[in-house]
Chain A
Amino acid sequence: MILKELWVRDMAGRKKWEQLLRIVGVVGPALITVNAGNDAGGIATYASIGANYGYKMLWGLLIITIALAVIQEMNARMAVVTGKGLSDLIREEFGVGWTLFAMVTLLVANIGVVMGDFAGVASSMELFGIPRYISVPVMAFLVWYLVLRGTYERVEKVFLVFTLFFFAYIFSAFLAKPSWGEVGKAVITPTLELNRPFLLTFIGMIGTTITPYMQFYLQSSIAEKRISWKDYFYEKVDVYFSAIWGELVAFFIIISTAATLYVAGISVDSAAEAALALKPLAGEFAFLLFGLGLFGASVLATAIIPLSTTYAICEAFGWERGVNYSFREAPVFFGLYTAIIVLGAAVVLIPSLSLFKIMVVTQQIAGILSPIILIFMIKLVNNPRVMGEHVNTRLQNVIAWLTVLFIIFLTLTLVLVQGLGL
């Protein structure tokens, strides 16, 4: 249906295949971003939502999908109109102080996400009997080295293929024969439990989807593509389609874990338990499928996030950046990049910490921090000096602000519940 729409638009004198090439050229950044968002933390969060709460949070996922689509469209629009990355815009419009605040927020959230992903590396490898003390240092070094050498792109495809294994959840969800009536009802019936685990899990679900790093990453990758305003329609298609696609995968992970683990009363505390949800489809191969998928997704994220975080921060403060520089020319860039990886990997090596917990908790931190970056974004996208006539519509503003207020509301409720000892 989308394709048909594309054919009809802007066909004046252009051949069909030319049109298609144009679309392929534009579509992409959002899809990659959303896919990267379904990383270790995402998988773990969705699996534990399904296993612990059944279908109860599905309504939230629907709302998040809408919020994600609106927010990512704002990023895409800012990228196309200004040609600048988000940190660039924050610096130019808000000055040094606010930039520092935004960048510290981004750094804290992202170090967390990187920890979650190294925990993903560790727990996927543990499924194959490789202890984390070997897998994490080895992968951390490998990613660090390959990305800096610029040879990472060649191996990227392998990890991308691994992530396709997560599509197994879609089939598994159907094979588990969930009660679709119940699923449908849960999607449209908001339920909120006023206790700490529920609220935290819910915030984690938001945090893993509307995570701060994605906004920076998406906006720079679209800005880099130099898409002109007349091709913006296609980028919008990319953004909306990706939001739905990414959340569809999440949707099926929740359903398949709910239909298998929740029903059986198994709460997910480890990767091995999360893999159980794939049993209806893969039987004994469930571990293999889940393990490789988790590994691929985690490695992808550890390669993308430290680098894009470092870029964003160096861009904001005007430091030399890029893997083409030498360490002497760009000490901050290399230092920060290395520190994020080392820190992310080191925490995972603390013996007493549960890997699964790291994956889930780091998403919750990202969720609590996400309104900060969102507020910067809403301010920017409504500034006519930045956006000209392409400021937000009233509807976009309502959705964006409701998202921010909702996350803040959840956080405050959490604090309140915590204080009252509920």
Chain B
Amino acid sequence: MSIVVSASSLLLWSNTFHVHGHLNFNNPMSRWRQQNLAIIRCCSRGTWETPTAQNNYYDLLGVSVDSNAHEIKEAYRKLQKKYHPDIFGPKGHEYTLMLNKAYEVLMTEDLRRKYDASIGQTRLRFGENNTPLGYSTWKGPLRPQALFVDENACIGCRECVHHASHTFTMDESHGCARVKVQYGDNDQSIEVSVESCPVNCIHWVETEELAVLEFLIQPQPKDEYGVFGGGWERTANVFTAAKSFNKQLKRKAATRSNQYPGSTVQESPAQAEARVRADMKIKMESFLKIWNWMKETLGMNIN
């Protein structure tokens, strides 16, 4: 509700105040401080489009929906350096306002989740704060290096948990340690706990790699073959797996950009409708399958 109100009133502002400043970009001396002339400008005109309609915050910052705080920060800074009114002149005002808004929302976990829900995005929670089991959180700012426990090698000795209890935790169901909070303790106790590991399974890794490693080290459901049951399996060598995973990601991204040059292909209303219908049909089919299976196994007493 509040979003609707503010969006409509933002438009209202824009429509009501069409006072343009005369902008003199030939004069480098007065790049800014021309605000005396330029009153609140309409944001739906000119080069900048209204953020709510066409662009979403991710597009605005030029980051993917699953990007982490570090990536968002970097993108935000790059754009600020280009369009901040100090550099771009008063024209950058509206755009910077949108950037600030987008940054505020995407950097605040609660707001980001709400925003994702509102635009219908789900993302893999890589490096997020309230992560599901298996992913570590960060205390303080991101650092270039992160801690990672190779759970394949871990023997569950609890030495690391003993030395740095705010950083490491014992995953009782798997019988091995893992990182709960990056830099949860001071540097010295972390150092000690890394040293204390008898099998040297605590690694310093690049922060960018962390998300992939933490994802791959989690036991994944195994496919069933004939009579052999599925169960859970963990990647044998997580580091090589991460490498190939990254390679795959790159290849996928490359093919995607080949398929949709410019990646701004808009679907027509008819196409959209067809897609929605097809999607529904697929969902219905799988639902019916389960329904039939339930009917068969649980007997006839459902109907």
**A, B in one complex:** no
Interface residues of A (CB under 8 A from B): none
